[in-house]
Amino acid sequence: MQMTFRWYGDDDPVKLWQIRQIPGVTGIVSAVYDIPVGEEWPLELILELKRKIEAAGLQLSVIESVPVHEHIKLGLPGRDRLIENYRRTLRNLGQAGIGIVCYNFMPVFDWTRSQLDYELEDGSTALIYEEEVVRRMNPLTGELQLPGWDSSYRKEDLQLLFEQYASVDEEKLWDNLSYFVKAIMPAAEEAGVRMAIHPDDPPWPIFGLPRIITDEAALDRFLRLYDSPVNGLCLCSGSLGANPANDFPDMVRRFGRESRVNFVHARNVKITGERSFEESAHLSSAGSLDMAEIIRALRDIDYAGPIRPDHGRMIWGETGKPGYGLYDRALGAVYLNGMWEAIGKERAAGQQ
């Protein structure tokens, strides 16, 4: 597998030279961040990003994300123009030599948490999700600032979106996803770009909005929309693992043997109640997920794609984008690589 690291561009407090010094990290996960959602990404901007990363001795391994416009998710008139822009972006990414694109199909809100700076027992801070707190939140007040979503929405924009989604249930959202997938995948195949849909985070409905990429059955249904290796998954242990009913290592083995795992996000979560969790250190004993078993599963399928340490705690007094500090994610990368090496050598020795 290839160890990668998320980087948010020149404004990111974490610098490329710092990432380059993390043992085993060779790839960068990034995006072109100044293009409005729904517009085509110009080839020259993609190449500029790629050159900047390569100049630091790293590789632009994954684009995360090319956002999907809400009109596509809603199935509104005009979606075909937006989809055509998406197809053009994929062709430009392919021309630039970018092989993987991660995206999601979550209505309105991306990954969502109830608190950004919850203090853990060791004094570090982490992202948490408490169902009772989220239930009391009202995204239409104009005062709510949720972590993980586009805060550029005005109050009236959100009000309209909620009115439009009132007629979109899970099956309608599936229909709109199917329409999108069948429209873009031929362009992805032509461009040599593998797509990786990210599961919903958390994997259940929020604020009355439907969410559909939530469990093994949903992943299986999604893959059957378009039967091609380019139509693949970003398996995120923290997203799917927030629901104890999801057996993440089993999903890795099943969908990996079908050659449909195109990207992996690795992080640990500690389940604190029904539909409630806190993000922990990557170490297996720190959370509710067995990270060693997850790495074994990736070894079982001979996974050769990119993986990144996902959200980390803020430790050692670091400030910056919550969940995306340098230090804890660097520890996570080294921890994951260490397990990968140890399991590989253990198996090699057993075959001698």
- pLDDT the model gives residue 347: 87
Strand pairing of 2-6 and 306-309? parallel
Q: What one-letter code names the amino acid at 232?
A: G
What DSSP character marks residue 209? B
- pLDDT the model gives residue 160: 92
Is 236 in the active site? yes
Q: DSSP labels for 99-156?
A: -EEEE---SS--S--SEEEEE-TTS-EEEEE-HHHHHH--TTSS----TTS-TT--HH
Q: Which of 265, 282, 303, 335 is catalytic?
A: 265
Q: Which of 12, 200, 215, 310 is catalytic?
A: 310
Mean pLDDT (10-residue bins), the chain, 352 residues: 96 97 98 94 98 98 96 96 98 97 95 91 95 88 59 77 95 98 98 98 94 98 97 98 97 97 97 96 95 96 96 93 95 97 91 63
Q: Please give the structure tokens belonging to residue 316.
A: 């050692």
Q: Which of 327, 282, 272, 279 is nearest to 117 (CA)?
A: 279
C-alpha distances in Å from residue 147, one per residue of 109, 186, 201, 267: 9, 34, 12, 17
Handedness of CA 86, 87, 93, 96 (dihedral sign): negative
Q: Which of 236, 282, 328, 335 is catalytic?
A: 236
Q: CA-to-CA distance for 158 and 283, rounded, in angstroms?
A: 38
- Where are the domains positioned within the chain? 2-350
Q: Which of 129, 198, 234, 335 is catalytic?
A: 198
pTM of the predicted protein model: 0.94
Q: Which of 86, 324, 328, 335 is catalytic?
A: 324
- pLDDT the model gives residue 154: 74
Architecture in CATH for domain 2-350: Alpha-Beta Barrel (3.20)
Q: CA-to-CA distance for 39 and 42, rounded, in angstroms?
A: 9
- pLDDT the model gives residue 146: 61
- pLDDT the model gives residue 140: 81
Is 102 in the active site? no
- pLDDT the model gives residue 120: 94
Is 69 in the active site? no
